[in-house]
Amino acid sequence: MIKMNDKNSKSNLWYKIDVILKALGAIIISGVIALVGIFLNQKQSQISEANRQAQILIQTMNQREISSSNMRAQMFNTLMQNYFNGQEDETTQVAVLELIGLNFQDHIHLKPLFERLDKKLTEKTEQRRALRKAANRIKRIEVTTRLARLGVERGSIMLISCCRGKRSL
């Protein structure tokens, strides 16, 4: 009988250990699942915040671009009106033409405007020299900009050969 009681005690002990371990396992698994859920929720919140900030940045950049475009359009209209007004002196027209060239070189072909003013300045050598200087400056900047877009360095031989020795008018 003692052996039977011993067996029952051992089985009872193992049964109790089994029940306790199953309960602990269930608690541990539930805890791990809860921690994973909390972690994933935090990650989702971080992603949502990053997306919100990116959206704000995009909206700000779009508004800035619209404002810049509107300002450039107003500036262009004002400069063109001043250039074609005819009441301005030749020095002012050279300055206006240079401003147009420096600010709108990608959007307008200036050669006809420079040629028109050059014909008008046939007898005025000082203004004509200023006009040619402005044309050369705009040409250098445009060549530099275009080469930079292609990845050519500023000091390269190609840039130097493009900008030297040729007259724009």
- Residues 162, 168, 125, CA angle at the centre, nearest 5°? 140
Q: What is the mean pLDDT of the chain?
A: 79
Asked whether the predicted pLDDT for residue 6 surpasses 80, the reply is no
Enter the tokens of residue 128: 């004509």
pLDDT (tens digit, 9 = 90+) per residue, 25-62? 999 999 999 999 999 999 999 999 999 999 999 999 99
Rg over CA atoms, the chain: 39
Read off the pLDDT band of 67 (50, 70, 90).
Answer: very high
> Percent of the chain having pLDDT more than 70?
81
Read off the pLDDT band of 4 (50, 70, 90).
Answer: low
pLDDT (tens digit, 9 = 90+) per residue, 152-168? 554 555 544 555 554 44
